[in-house]
Amino acid sequence: MTPVRTRFAPSPTGYLHVGGARTALYCWLYARKMQGTFVLRIEDTDIERSTQESVQAILDAMEWLNLNYDEGPFYQTKRFDRYHEVVQLMLKEGKAYRCYCSKERLEALRTEQMTNKQKPRYDGLCRDLKEPGTGSHVIRFRNPLEGVVEFNDLIRGPLSFRNDELDDLIIARSDGTPTYNFTVVVDDWDMQITHVIRGDDHINNTPRQINILRALGATPPLYAHVSMILGSDGKRLSKRHGAVSVMQYREEGFLPEALLNYLARLGWSHGDQEIFSREELVQLFDIPHINKAPAAFNNEKLLWLNQHYIKTGDPLHVAEELAWHMQQLGVDVSAGPALTDLIKAQAERAKTLREMAEKSLYFYRDVQFDEAAVKQHLTQEAIPVIESMQNELTHLKEWTAEAIHQVVQNVAEKLTLKMGKIAQPMRVAITGSTVSPSIDVTVCLLGRERTLQRLSAALLLCEESKAI
């Protein structure tokens, strides 16, 4: 049995979008499932639009998603000598020819065909020239004129295309640079790719590529064309629907495991199972269960998955991602509680790590008071509450959430107040707002020194309220 070899081949003309990430994931999963090889290829022949920044964005996204490749990255711009070699071979063997038609002639031909409601295609004027022309020219592939190209799409089933509907593709431009459909063919041939999993926007390229491969005496790979991803409005996913760049999802606070799990299920299923570990995805993934119909992106579902992974993921891994967000906010994480403890306290209160980071700033920075919360809770009536808590906490021997909870109970009994009447003034005093994890956990994470300092500052605010 031929070893499985898949490839992910993005063009570096922008960021890696979620559709591309899903394709990369499917290629990676199939290679891992079949104990094969996963190849990364950068298709950068569009020199005007390709940038090094886009290349780096792709590499960064692959690393963040942990889609490790076995070979590559290979760059098409570094393989021009190889493409030129194959072009010359095809010319020598009569499988390609020089076309001297001007842009003006081709444009006039196209206009005439469209006027006659014909499919625009090259008419083969230079296909059988008896005398070679002179001047600028391109190289075209001599596509078969008769018969059909048939292949079994692993997702869509049997597909066929008539050769008389296909064009004599340009495989090298007038400046000698190779074209997309040609470089892809040579690369897949040289890299011995066995399975091409890619978007369905490439379906029309497939018969053309198969014909070139057969002309080269190569065995075409098996093809699987994945449907597009739609937005909630049923239109193709784009910037107007929100984040579409993989690294933008990182910036918004998503874990890579959550995004991968979501993308895997966005067009593929295994029964009713929604949550998969990476190991389960490798074990269970199969191409026939990829859906033919387009899948709609649901941000609420992704948020639900993300919070699940925040709550159940390896705390050290989640903490590494949270540390990145803290760094983006300019927070020194050594100036507060351990991030693993913070995650445990905030997991139920945040769907994203960015939200968690923003809600946790008071643990690491000076408190910023919400004016409405201060006006409502740091009043003259709160003075005995804060003074009693300050006194009790000052002498507390064991600084644990359990011990602090007991202190809150003791003060509530002493002042004959409900727990909420103790917790809310305390919460505003030490966090600046009325929202935080339970007061015992919050005080514990904040630490004795910082808590007592903030209680003293809060007492001054309570005193100031007397004069109002």
Of 304, 340, 334, 237, residue with least CA distance to 22: 237
Nearest-angstrom CA–CA distance, 439 and 426: 8
Torsional sign, CA 285, 289, 291, 296:
negative
Backbone angles phi, psi at 47, to 5 degrees: -65, -35
DSSP 227: P
User: Per the structure block, which two tokens stand in for 462?
Assistant: 């309570």
Residue 45 CA to residue 79 CA, distance in Å, equals 10
Residues 6+ apart with CB under 8 A from 161: 148, 149, 150, 207
User: 343: closest CA among 332, 330, 333?
Assistant: 333
Dist. CA 358–CA 368, nearest whole Å:
12
Helices (H), 42-92: 52-65, 80-92
Cβ proximity of 403 and 448 under 8 Å: no
Tokens of 85: 């070699």
Q: Which residues contact 80 (CB under 8 A, 6 or more apart)?
A: 177, 178
Burial class (CB in 10 A: 0-12, 13-18, 19+), 27: buried
CA 165 → CA 107, 139, 431, distances in Å? Answer: 19, 20, 70
- The three-class DSSP label of residue 372 is helix
SS3 category, 38: strand
Which residue among the candidates 78, 235, 239, 311 is catalytic per the annotation? Answer: 239
239 catalytic? Reply is: yes
**Widest CA span of the chain, in angstroms?**
108
Residue 412, H or E segment = helix 401-414
Known catalytic residues are 239
